[in-house]
Structure 1
């Protein structure tokens, strides 16, 4: 039978068991909210009703935060110690600068006439070439010829279309003018003269005359 002298030991034992249970739950990513609901712990997020670790490079509640500058890896616990011409990647740590950049954390662009990895290569471009900070010397002649040819073709197309429209318009106007003049000078009823006398044809003769013309 337990006496009052054993109560402190029992209480400590119960607390230890409870703590071990909480540790086991935390290892599974499951924590208890103030409302005694099962929720995912910090640095975990729920996937198909299972609490999973945050993807590498993220941390925080529901894994909503990306690693701050200088941190990387699982739960962003790793510290970058990058050298010159390296930058800290939030997933993999220190990586070499991309082509066309250099300096600390790769914040600088290559200076003029330099290109490539860590801007370590020098351009020796020919005429009609320029130095690209990523690829080096780029031939401008092909690009310029293609652009000029395209502009010339577009201009020629517009000129042809405008010429055709103007030509058709002129032809239509001339045709309308000729039709109008012909209708003005054509006599609807033919009249003949015999000496000083004017002879008007009969209606039957007029119809016959009009069928001839």
Structure 2
């Protein structure tokens, strides 16, 4: 607020607009997975042939969006969980088709990610206008880890939900329209990621329920050997 073919865990990193050497998962470091299992009824664990095939550009755009959404100063599980939640929400939105079929279309949709396309002073306007050098390395590395895990079959950290918010930094209008419902969903399911005042509450706004995607798997780009 997103036909399964198993890919190798080795993958490219698209940090700072340049291709870095292949980094095996064992070298990058171990995955830090969520510490609370999903509890609502969603696609987790269901067999599916639906896929979201990510391109190199999709991966780069995921890192751009996540860099504007994730609170990079968070530590440990609070940081990794929040990163996973942001990535999984974007993937769910791609799978839903409501905002388009690419990460770029999802990220550039007006007023969906305030750091990208809004009238706020700090917004870039579009993903294309955000320099790759503004990608946060810490966030980018965790996005790589999580995409590798998702491609290997790890379920979404937010089921098939399409929204998240921090009620401390949301307008009263948004909270009344859909925000408090999402907060309630998040608390019930355990989809609250972050710490202190930097918590994301994941759920789905009432008018978007029909857009929650069916079960899907993701395919990440093949590494160049």
Of structures 1 and 2, the one with the larger relative CO (CA 8 A, separation 6+) is: 2
**TM-score with structure 2 setting the length:** 0.15
Compare CA radii of gyration and give the structure with the larger one.
1
